Amino acid sequence: MNWGIFTASFEGMKSRGSDLQRRIRGLRRRLTLLLAVIGPGLITSNVDNDAGGISVYTQAGAQYGYALLWSLIPMTIALYVTEEMCARMGVVTGKGLSDLIREEFGFRPTFFVMVTGFFVDLANVVAEFAGVAAAMQIFHVSKYVAVPIAAILVWILVLRGTYRQVEVIFLFACVLYLSYLFSAVLAKPDWLLAAEHTVVPNLRLDSGYLIMLTGLVGTTIAPWQFFYLQASFVEKKVGPRQYPQARADVLFGSISCMVIVFFIIVATAATLYVSGHRDITDAAQAAQALFPLAGKGAGILFAFGLLNASLFAASILPLSTAHVICEGLGFEAGIDHKFGEARIFYSLYTLLIVVGAAVVLLPGAPLWKILIFSQVGNGIWLPVVVIFILLLVNRRDLMGEYVNTLTFNIVAWVTAIAMIALTLVLTYTALFQRSAPPGT
């Protein structure tokens, strides 16, 4: 009788995998490696182009034509430099930004960062739902229908999805930003002039121009995005070995974000600025004005872009905020947990969405004031967060060989100081100027 533990002998089966197959497998492996990492950077940067952002870009294009396009290149650098530091921290330490602040600076600083964050983000969420309402009004849908539906959609998306599914949807939303590209093409701009203004700086010293410039920077770089970016890399379990891919993701994200801004400004410059509609105050008005100027298609695409951006940011902001707070206070967080496992996380998330949407629906709600508060809040919160980031990323005991190099530090501090100065100016104008500041 022949029994025994059979250890397979595969004669005649061996080395079927030819050389070609192996090479294809290698290529596939490298591609999967990149795809496995890509996402956080792309999503974070694109979600910067939210309702408030698009309003500012629209105004920039309408009031100054192509003249502000040159600021996009330095802004891309600033965005990349700051985001890269967070990505690096997430990848190297495997910990979120609020985790690190808690471990290195203690309970109280963390608590205050998070409480501020909660209220600032809540104001931002209101702004996003206001964006949804404005965009849907162009399609003749009442805000009393549009906003509740949007809120429920956003809530369900995250509650029912896994990280992977949600990320795929977010990446798809990034692609939808391309509607601004088509909108710009339909507006038949002077591409040569636009290109020239992009590379040749055009600094004017009148106050309106400078305020617009600070508005651009202030809305593009928001403090909450750093928490979100770092947390996504952590939740995605990207390790130090995949740092090059993570960096590529952040770089690609920063550039694609600015390319979209470019198209928004070009679209409005070619139409509103040229035809003299220069007193546009928000994106919805711009979309409306585009109908007669560049045709129905351009206007619809523009409004659709605003809707997409608002919805996109409205789903990420509450998520990021709930994440930050739970992480810092030591509660279970993350959408891979079930409701019962991460009760506080989901409660905060729900609260932000419900309150955010409800405020927009309140008759006679002081939306304008809330928008200003969100901008001022971002402005006050940003310096604190950026300084925490710079202190942490220079800690050798945390970062090991991945600490900032001297050159990078110089670039980072200059960027940080410039950004802080500009946001403080913006905060000042938002608080003390009688007229509405950009983005409101």
Partner 1 sequence: MELYATELMGAKTYDAQGHYVGRVREFFIEPAEAPNRVSHFLLSRGHFQPLVAKHNQVASVAVGKMQLNVGERALELYAPNESWLAVQKDLLDQQIIDTRGRKVVRVNDVDLTELRSNGNVELRLTQVDVGLPGAVRRLLQGVVPPKVIRKLQSKLPQRAIRWEFVNLVEPDPLRRVKLRITHEKLEDLHPADLADIVEDLSASERQSIIASLDEETAAAVLGELDARLTTQIVEDLGPEKAADILEEMAPDAAADLLADLSRETSEELLDEMPGQEADEVRELLEFDPATAGGMMNPDFIFVGETSTREEVLEWMREQELNFDQLDTIVLLDSGAQYSGAVPIARLLLAPSEQRMAELKLEPLLSLPPTADDKEVFELFDKYNLRMLTVVDKENRPIGAITVDDVVSRLVKK
Binding site for partner 1 (CB under 8 A): 1-10, 12-17, 22, 26, 29, 36, 92-95, 102-103, 106-108, 111, 237-241, 329-330
Q: How far is the CB of 228 from partner 1 (least distance, A)?
A: 18
Q: How far is the CB of 74 from partner 1 (least distance, A)?
A: 34
CB nearer partner 1, residue 195 or residue 398:
398
Question: What count of residues does the chain have?
Answer: 440
What's the rounded Cα separation, in Å, for the pair 154 and 307?
Answer: 13
Q: How far is the CB of 229 from partner 1 (least distance, A)?
A: 17
CB nearer partner 1, residue 241 or residue 434:
241
CB nearer partner 1, residue 30 or residue 204:
30
**Residue position matching structure tokens 């397979």:** 8
What's the rounded Cα separation, in Å, for the pair 18 and 16?
Answer: 6
Compute how many other C-beta atoms are within 10 angstroms of the C-beta atom of residue 70. Answer: 17
CB nearer partner 1, residue 95 or residue 143:
95
What's the rounded Cα separation, in Å, for the pair 207 and 372?
Answer: 19
DSSP symbol at 187? T
Question: Which contacts (CB < 8 Å, 24+ apart) does range 325-330 have?
Answer: 325/98, 325/114, 325/117, 325/118, 327/96, 327/98, 327/99, 327/102, 327/231, 328/98, 328/99, 328/101, 328/102, 328/110, 328/111, 328/113, 328/114, 329/110, 329/111, 329/114, 330/102
CB nearer partner 1, residue 208 or residue 239:
239
Contact 122, 130 (CB under 8 A): no
CB nearer partner 1, residue 1 or residue 362:
1
DSSP 275-319: HT-----SHHHHHHHHHHHH-HHHHHHHHHHHHHHHHHHHHHHHH
* Residue in 59, 85, 134, 79 with CA at minimum distance from that of residue 247: 85
Q: How far is the CB of 344 from partner 1 (least distance, A)?
A: 11
Q: How far is the CB of 388 from partner 1 (least distance, A)?
A: 15
Q: How far is the CB of 236 from partner 1 (least distance, A)?
A: 8
CB nearer partner 1, residue 26 or residue 292:
26
Q: How far is the CB of 374 from partner 1 (least distance, A)?
A: 26
Q: How far is the CB of 340 from partner 1 (least distance, A)?
A: 13
Contact 326, 342 (CB under 8 A): yes
Q: How far is the CB of 43 from partner 1 (least distance, A)?
A: 18
Q: What 3-state class would DSSP assign to 1? A: coil
CA-to-CA separations, 184 to 60, 191, 220, 227, 236, in angstroms, rounded? 15, 10, 20, 32, 35
CB nearer partner 1, residue 86 or residue 147:
86
**Residue position matching structure tokens 């992977």:** 164
CB nearer partner 1, residue 107 or residue 139:
107
